[in-house]
Amino acid sequence: MSARQADVVALDGDGIGPEVNAVARALADAAARHDGLQIRWQERHVGGISIDEYGTALHDDVLADCHAADAVLLGAVGGPRWDTTDPEAPRPEQGLLGLREGLGLYANLRPVKPWHSLRAASPLREERIEGTDLLVVRELTGGLYFGERARVDDRAYDTCVYSRGEVERVARRGFEAAQGRRRKVTSVDKANVLESSRLWREVVHEVAGDYPDVELEDMLVDNAAMQLVSRPASFDVIVTENMFGDILSDEAAMITGSIGLLASASLGDGGRGLYEPVHGSAPDIAGQGVANPIAACLSAAMMLRYSLGSPAGADRIEGAVDHVIENGPIPRDLGGAATTTDISAALLAALEEPELPAP
């Protein structure tokens, strides 16, 4: 019998992107194989490397390839080489934003669940992080990131615009996710100041009517930033607009001890998704072989679960990650000395452990 096949575009990107994505791809291949699935990879460029090659951070052909694929696995984009404040110059981040917008990926899922053995790695006290298991659902194709912006003489502006439809579809994602979890949604806004937040709040409350089994609370973003460090375990699903979600998810990452552990899925209406670690391209350690590939591997697990129809493969990767986190080797960002290759070898070995869930 021939294996099921899936087409995935690998966008390794810049900095540590290629280093962590190589591990994630090897792990995804191994996990998929156990589940009778074969992944066909297409390697393409995005970000700084694409600027060097094509003069733009996202080439139309690359976007078209992503459209045609089942999923996209992205490493990271950006680096000092392409840093500029010139509004006319291309920026690596435009590649990422172009993919999110071009593929219609309006919901970004970022789960945060600290591992018991890493509780000392978090800057927060153990008793505070105990029991934390939250999911940030960040709106990804609207708000300040995509509003009209300009520089006019000595002034500059960015606009935050949301339509009812944009709020409604991401709110539904949040409520649906909550139904499979602890049935609580915290909608984060700044409704005491921003008109876009008042619309946000109104629409989220309307949508909540369709999910009577889910509790809804509103929280102002400044308060949410505080509650995330004072009582993180009280959150289940946080639904919020693009910029607030960007900031709060980095903050939430530190509950686990390192941003090197946080994965994300960006989803639209169909099954296609883009999967990437929450961390950036880390140019300070790029090329040294010491990057922590775990966030990339967990992103690959989300890809198997949400886009490639292989929840068993996803469980297998997550099981291997749990095993390595509990037993070592420990990467540098968590206080250890293991290299990317050490972690990769340990993950691949753990993935083959017989006690892991059978496909």
Return the active site residues: 145, 190, 222, 246, 250
* Sign of the torsion angle spanned by Cα atoms 327, 293, 244, 86: positive
Is 101 one of the binding residues for ligand IPM (CB under 6 A)? no
Instruction: Take residue 141 and report the two structure tokens written for it.
Output: 């194709």
Q: Please give the Cα distance from 97 to 57 (Å, whole number).
A: 10
Is 70 one of the binding residues for ligand IPM (CB under 6 A)? no
- Closest CB to ligand IPM among residues 22, 278: 278
- Closest CB to Mg ion among residues 93, 322: 93
State in angstroms the smallest separation of the CB of 50 from Mg ion: 20
Which residue of the chain is nearest ligand IPM when measured via CB?
93
- Closest CB to Mg ion among residues 91, 119: 91
Q: Return contacts of 351-356, CB within 8 angstroms, 24+ apart.
A: 351/27, 351/30, 351/31, 351/34, 351/316, 351/317, 351/319, 351/320, 352/30, 353/319, 353/320, 353/323, 356/315, 356/316, 356/319, 356/320, 356/323
- Closest CB to ligand IPM among residues 33, 81: 81
Sites for ligand IPM among residues 271-290 (CB under 6 A): 278, 280
Is 308 one of the binding residues for ligand IPM (CB under 6 A)? no
**Encoded amino acid at 52, one letter:** D
Place of tokens 């290629």: 18
State in angstroms the smallest separation of the CB of 100 from ligand IPM: 8
State in angstroms the smallest separation of the CB of 245 from ligand IPM: 8
**In contact, 185 and 175? CB cutoff 8 Å:** yes
State in angstroms the smallest separation of the CB of 47 from ligand IPM: 9
Task: State the binding partner of 320 from ligand IPM, Mg ion, none, CB within 5 to 8 A by kind.
Answer: none
What's the alpha-carbon Rg for the chain, to the nearest Å? 20
Angle in degrees, 0-180, between the axes of helices 221-230 and 242-253, rounded to the nearest 10: 10
Is 96 one of the binding residues for ligand IPM (CB under 6 A)? yes
Task: State the binding partner of 312 from ligand IPM, Mg ion, none, CB within 5 to 8 A by kind.
Answer: none
Helix residue ranges, H only, the chain? 17-34, 48-54, 60-68, 93-102, 126-129, 164-179, 195-208, 221-230, 242-253, 294-306, 311-327, 340-351
Q: Please give the Cα distance from 266 to 302 (Å, whole number).
A: 10
Size of the site for ligand IPM (CB under 6 A): 5
Is 139 one of the binding residues for ligand IPM (CB under 6 A)? no
State in angstroms the smallest separation of the CB of 209 from ligand IPM: 30
- Tell which one of 12, 241, 246, 315 touches ligand IPM (CB under 6 A): 246
- Closest CB to ligand IPM among residues 105, 350: 105
Count of CB atoms situated within 10 Å of the CB of 14: 28
Count of CB atoms situated within 10 Å of the CB of 68: 11
**In contact, 174 and 237? CB cutoff 8 Å:** yes
Task: State the binding partner of 245 from Mg ion, ligand IPM, none, CB within 5 to 8 A by kind.
Answer: none
Task: State the binding partner of 96 from ligand IPM, Mg ion, none, CB within 5 to 8 A by kind.
Answer: ligand IPM
Is 191 one of the binding residues for ligand IPM (CB under 6 A)? no
- Tell which one of 93, 176, 218, 251 touches ligand IPM (CB under 6 A): 93
Task: State the binding partner of 93 from ligand IPM, Mg ion, none, CB within 5 to 8 A by kind.
Answer: ligand IPM
**In contact, 72 and 66? CB cutoff 8 Å:** yes
Is 11 one of the binding residues for ligand IPM (CB under 6 A)? no
Binding residues for Mg ion, rule: CB under 5 A, are: 246
Q: Which residues bind ligand IPM (CB under 6 A)?
A: 93, 96, 246, 278, 280
